[in-house]
Chains A and B, each alone.
Chain A
């Protein structure tokens, strides 16, 4: 068990640029989740996948946000035309099975700073 891996750990970019983050889940986990955490708050759910299928995406913050998991393994989260308010920690988690009772294992996150 090598844990959930996220890359990069930190990203600094100018407003208006596009950014993409990568998440590699624990290898046997079929569910993958994305969360956003702003300073002083708990994480908020964005979207999740079961294998390559994106089962919930209505909670993505705007149409500038999109996520993929093309082969059911790693996932990417893209933010287009970044805005100041996008500055946050973006967390990825993975789990087995149906998810409701299975604990989610989190990566260390990608911290995004918008200049």
Chain B
């Protein structure tokens, strides 16, 4: 079975500083991995996806993630946080198209 573990339930950064949201995955084969973002009372928006074409994946709004097979990790990063980045972020694995979500990381951006 495939699963993901988000290592931090809450992350707080100052505006303009780097963001790191950590995700480890468990899979017996090379998985399809995604990061989604959810703003309050809204649906989920896709940030980026990994499907084995390239280990460094660039997404929207300046986010990127690196797939590291040796570490079974897929951490999400952004060089400089904006206030508008404050939201819930989900690391997601996709066995047979049925998305399996991590428990989420709430990102707070301080002025």
Residues of B within 8 A of A (CB): 32, 34, 36, 41-46, 49, 51, 90, 92, 94-104
How many Cβ-Cβ contacts under 8 Å join chain A to chain B?
63
**A103:B44 contact, CB within 8 angstroms:** no
**A108:B42 contact, CB within 8 angstroms:** yes
Closest 6 CB pairs of A and B: A99-B97, A42-B101, A106-B43, A106-B44, A101-B51, A108-B43
**Interface residue? A91 (CB, 8 A):** yes
Please give, as numbers and ranges, the residues of chain A lying within 8 Å of B51 by CB-CB distance: 101
**Interface residue? A4 (CB, 8 A):** yes
Complex partner residue of B104 from A31, A41, A103, CB under 8 angstroms: A41
Chain A residue at minimal CB-CB distance from B90: A42
Within 8 A of B (CB), among A72-115: 91, 93, 95, 98-109, 111
**B98:A42 contact, CB within 8 angstroms:** no
**A42:B97 contact, CB within 8 angstroms:** no
**A100:B97 contact, CB within 8 angstroms:** yes
Q: Given A95-B97, A108-B43, does the pair A103, B103 have CB atoms closer than 8 Å?
A: no
Chain A residue at minimal CB-CB distance from B88: A42
Instruction: Tell me the bound Cα distance from A65 to B99 in angstroms.
Output: 19
Please give, as numbers and ranges, the residues of chain B lying within 8 Å of A107 by CB-CB distance: 43
